[in-house]
Structure 1
Amino acid sequence: MIFIVWMFFFDGSSWLLHRELNQEIKKLEGNRDYFQNEISTDKEQIEQLQDSAGLERFAREEYLMKKDNEEIYIIEYQDSIIKNNNE
């Protein structure tokens, strides 16, 4: 009985150690899946940026760039405006 308790709790290859390691493996596999999804979306975005039209669209949306003869109007909705404490 002492041998079984020793092997179950105190040994270097105990059940508790294996349980902790299995939890760590599941966590790392979840991280791997997340990062693989991020890599695939980044690859899709890189492919879109290879085209000049896609690059122009990205620059217009993200950096608010414009052509010389254009005007840009930014529409802000009431719920997207950050309010100061003084107002």
Structure 2
Amino acid sequence: MIRLFNLFRNKYFLVALAFVVFMIFFDKNDLFSQYQYYQQVSKLKQERDFYQKETAKVYKDLNELDSNPKELEKFAREKYLMKKDNEDVFVIVQPKKD
């Protein structure tokens, strides 16, 4: 017990303890902020992976469209509802199920 009391009377220990408490709770980069930064980095990594996959998919589609005229025609008809002069296009909308 006396040894513990002497430890708390030591000015170096008190300064070190105050420094640690300040760094953990009151500093600009405290533990709570570090945790938030970690979560933000994780979220951004997930978004990066998603966008990399989407970019790869778009490049693959673009490559197919550049190399195959039938795919280009199919894409134009499906996405942009393009048609030939002697055709009619009917858009069928499925009703939503509630």
Structure with bigger gyration radius: 2
User: What is the total number of aligned residue pairs between the two structures?
Assistant: 79
1:3 aligns with 2:19: yes
Match runs of 1:33-52 below 5 Å: 33-50=49-66, 51-52=68-69
Letter in 2 for 1:2: A
Between the aligned partners of 1:12 and 1:72, the Cα distance in structure 2 is: 62
Paired residue secondary structure (2:79): helix
Residue 22 (str. 1) matches residue 38 (str. 2):
yes
Flag the structure with higher helix content.
Answer: 2
Question: In the TM superposition, what is the alpha-carbon distance from 1:33 to its structure 2 partner?
Answer: 0.8
> 1:72 offset after TM fit, Å?
4.2
In structure 1, list runs of 5 or more residues that go unmatched: 81-87
- Tell me what 2:80 maps to: 63
Identity across matched positions, percent: 37
Question: How far off its partner does 1:71 sit?
Answer: 4.5
Cα distance in structure 1, aligned partners of 2:24 and 2:42: 22
CA RMSD of aligned residues (A): 2.0
Tell me by how many angstroms 1:17 deviates.
Answer: 2.2
Q: Secondary structure at the match of 2:70?
A: helix
Instruction: Specify the SS of the correspondent of 1:67.
Output: coil
Partner Cα separation in structure 1 for residue 87 and residue 43 of structure 2: 50
